Amino acid sequence: MDQTSDHLRLLLERPYLRPYFYENKPWSPGDTASADEIKAMAEILLNNFASAIIHSAAFPQYPVRSVEQTIRFHLRNSPALRDFLIEGFERFPLAGLALLRLKNETKEETERDLQVLVSKSTDDDRERTRRQRLLQHLQSTDKAGPLELAKYSLDRAQSIVRTDPE
């Protein structure tokens, strides 16, 4: 629980960071905040959001629906969060698709993000394949809510663990 609220303490201690996460302010050279501070804060927030989503997917009694609006607000009001999510998508193997869905208004916008992510995939074949599989799943499912997408990723990861001897 401490880690999930660490970002609040940081935002209180460094109020100059708040506009980057609440007011849709992009970082610019010369700002009081450094680019590294913004990225670190974005990582902390996204890790917290990903944790909440995965807990809800794994434990039905965990109420992610109550935090979906908060996650959605932050993703839609923070270029730093949106950029970090796209640039570091591989850091969110279980919650990345759900976070993309919360970032966007529609399933089609989420598909476009995934198409971009597939086209700019790294040299990592596993990551490229994962992104393609997520895109195919999103295009073929009628259940495209964030929680359902997180459950898909979690179930997929659990089935790989059961079948992969590594």
Q: What are the pLDDT digits (tens) for 72-110?
A: 999 999 999 999 999 999 999 999 999 999 999 999 999
pLDDT confidence tier of residue 63, bands split at 50, 70 and 90: low
Q: What are the pLDDT digits (tens) for 121-162?
A: 677 888 999 999 999 999 999 999 998 999 999 888 877 655
Q: Which helix H or strand E contains 137, and what residues bound it?
A: helix 125-140
Q: At what angle do helices 79-87 and 107-119 cross, to 10 degrees?
A: 50
Q: Which helix H or strand E contains 55, and what residues bound it?
A: helix 35-58
CA distances from 127 to 12, 123, 141 (A): 36, 8, 21
First to last CA, the chain: 31
Query: Hey, is 29 helix, strand or coil?
Result: coil
pTM score of the predicted model: 0.87
